[in-house]
Structure formats: structure tokens, C-alpha cells
Amino acid sequence: MVLGRPREFDVDIALDKAMDLFWTQGYESTSLHNLLSATGLSKSSLYKVFGSKKELFEKSIDRYSIKLHTSMAKGLATKASGWAFIEDILRFIIHEKERAAAPRGCLLINSINEWSVHNQEIQQRVIDRFYTFENLFEQAIIRAQKEGAIPQESNSKDLAAFLVCSISGLRSSVKAKSSSEKLDTLVQFILSSLKARKQTGPIGPNI
């Protein structure tokens, strides 16, 4: 029996490199040459394993979402409280500019801005990923409600949607290099809103 020639590269590593490139440059600004240079793959290998550039981008979105969701789920499970998890996430976001000279923001938020008009299929793919994070934040909110940090009568699903929308705006403010004082004020406002909000109906459209 003759075995096929084994792949000479790690698929996950190559996908991570492509994901980082899309995250930094966006889809349109990332050329095939950029992808080949970043992954170290030949054109034939890239197409054979990942398909088209669009398919590679879709796989990158999925990869980013899974990695981020897994990390956040572990964080929620290990934090002392649901409230501490929410606050730590917000603080981590606004301190991105201290970790990077050019903050990249969130790949999902960047992608929804880039693809909202051009491709409804990818737009919906990104929105579906947002819902998984919305569900995770709802778990954190329900936990915080049980712990007494958020009013029990507040609608956890609406608050989770509010939080995801707020994080989208916060990410944009970080990319725009808003001042630390402004970012800290925004975080304080979001946290205060979560504690004070007592909604009986939807806050607004989900993203």
C-alpha cells in the first residue's frame, strides 16, 4: 500500500497566520501574495487546503471566533464573579492601545464594517458569531444577577445585547486612539448602565 505524501506544513499554524493578516489589514487590502508570504505556502497548496481567498477568510473568521470564545468561556468559569468577568473584559479592551502601537480591534467588528454592503453571506456569518458571544455575556449577566451585582428584574438577554453593542463602540474608540480618560469614562458608563437598567422590552436591534 502506497501512502500519500504527508503535508509539509501545519494547517492550524497557516490558518492562524492568515487570520492575523486579515485581522491587521482587512480582506480587501490583503492580496494573495500577502497570504502566500505570511503562510509560507505555495499557491497550489493554499488553494488545495483552504480553497479561495474568500473561503480562507471565512475559515479565519471561524478560527478567530472559536479561539476567542474558548478563552472567554474559560475566563467566565474561573473568575470570582460574573461581574468581575464583565468588568475585566471591558478593561482589557480599553488597554489594547497600551499593548499595541496600532490597535487592531476585533476581527468580527472589523469584518462587519467591511462586508455590511458587499456580501450579505459573510455579513450573516459574522452576525451569527456575534450571537455566540451575546449568549456568553448573558450567562455572565445571569450569574451577576444571582450574585446581586445586577438587578434581578433586568432582562438578561437585552442586557447582553446592550453589552455586545457597547463593546463594538468601545473597540472602535480604541482603534480611533481615544484618550484613556474618555475610554475609562465609557467603561464606567457601560457598567453603571448594566446596574441601573430595568428593561421590560428590547433595548434596540441586535448586532
Q: Domain containing 191 — which CATH number?
A: 1.10.357.10
Listed in sequence order, the residues at least 6 apart from 107 whose beta carbon sits closer than 8 Å to its beta carbon are: 19, 22, 23, 60, 61, 64
Q: Which residues span the domain enclosing 136?
A: 60-196
Q: How many domains does the chain fold into?
A: 1
Residue 120 lies in a domain: yes
User: pLDDT in tens for each of the 207 residues of the chain?
Assistant: 334 444 556 899 999 999 999 999 999 999 999 999 999 999 999 999 999 999 999 999 999 999 999 999 999 999 999 999 999 999 999 998 788 778 888 999 898 888 766 677 888 888 899 999 999 999 999 999 999 999 999 999 999 999 999 999 999 899 888 999 999 999 999 999 999 855 444 444 443
Helix (H), strand (E) at residue 84: helix 82-94
- In this prediction the pTM is 0.84
Residue 124 lies in a domain: yes
- Dig out the grid coordinates for 12 from the structure: 492550524
Residue 68 lies in a domain: yes
Closest CA to 68 of 195, 156, 171: 171
Contact by Cβ (8 Å): 109, 172:
yes
Closest CA to 83 of 7, 153, 163, 3: 163
Residue 164 lies in a domain: yes
Q: How far is CA 188 from the centre of its chain?
A: 21
Residue 188 lies in a domain: yes
Residue 76 lies in a domain: yes
Residue 31 lies in a domain: no
